[in-house]
Amino acid sequence: MSFMTMLTKKFAMPDPAEALPGRADAIEPSEAHFVNGHSLTGPYPDGTKTVLLGMGCFWGAERIFWQLPGVHATAVGYAGGFTPNPTYHETCTGRTGHTEAVLVVYDPETVTLETLLKVFWENHDPTQGMRQGNDTGTQYRSAIYVASDDELEIAERSRGAYQDALKGAGIASTITTEIKVLDQFYFAEDYHQQYLAKNPGGYCGIGGTGVACPVGLHQGA
């Protein structure tokens, strides 16, 4: 494969037949959440729900969500692609099809999915396709992966509302966020989990459009 072909592939999803083979053994976090001490892998408390959110580099994205009231735990990993149990290095090649994602475990009695999505939309630019700022490649694409058709409807409705908000602010770009029902999440390596709590001066590429999202303004935190 030529260099130019490899470069192009990073900006387009690989064909499943071309994806890296991965492995049978999963990466399992060996420690509890660095900030709140909760289990990353569960079992989670009764009544909690989960959503997977891709906003570019998962270090900064995870920090946003672990600070929200009602969020029980967060973890970073890979989702939306084809390679089973990928590594960080493999995901960065663009040949797994995965995006960097944050697993958010939350109590819907305290913080609603609509409110989490409001935070999601406002803290990155969902119109950039296979990139987020200076971070480029399929692993940085914007994504919302939910657990049910009902949640899919909520996510799609929130996308429409934020698209309208962008238009109202004079931004003509179209939202490229991938939204689908997905229950497969692969945990990232230990050193990525709660990275910015362990390394406060570490890289954080998170940045929004400056446009407020009307979704969830009167709900949750």
Does position 151 have pLDDT exceeding 80, yes or no?
yes
pTM of this structure? 0.93
Dist. CA 50–CA 44, nearest whole Å: 10
3-state secondary structure of 115: helix
Does position 120 have pLDDT exceeding 60, yes or no?
yes
Does position 218 have pLDDT exceeding 90, yes or no?
no
Does position 2 have pLDDT exceeding 90, yes or no?
no
- How far does Cα 184 stand from its chain's mean position? 13
Dist. CA 59–CA 150, nearest whole Å: 29
Does position 130 have pLDDT exceeding 90, yes or no?
yes
Does position 7 have pLDDT exceeding 60, yes or no?
no
> What single string gives the DSSP state of each residue in 144-201?
EEESSHHHHHHHHHHHHHHHHHHHHTT--PPP--EEEE----EEPPGGGTTHHHH-TT
Q: Report, as residue numbers or ranges, the catalytic residues.
A: 57
Averaged pLDDT for residues 200-220: 77
Q: Are strands 99-106 and 49-55 parallel, antiparallel or unpaired?
A: antiparallel
End-to-end CA distance of the chain: 49
- What is residue 110's predicted lDDT score, i.e. its pLDDT? 98
Does position 77 have pLDDT exceeding 70, yes or no?
yes
Structure tokens at 37: 């001490």
Dist. CA 221–CA 142, nearest whole Å: 23
Q: pLDDT of 42-55, one tens digit each?
A: 999 999 999 999 99
CA nearest neighbour of 66 among 56, 79, 76: 76
Averaged pLDDT for residues 131-139: 95
CATH architecture of the domain formed by 25-198: 2-Layer Sandwich (3.30)
Dist. CA 57–CA 78, nearest whole Å: 11
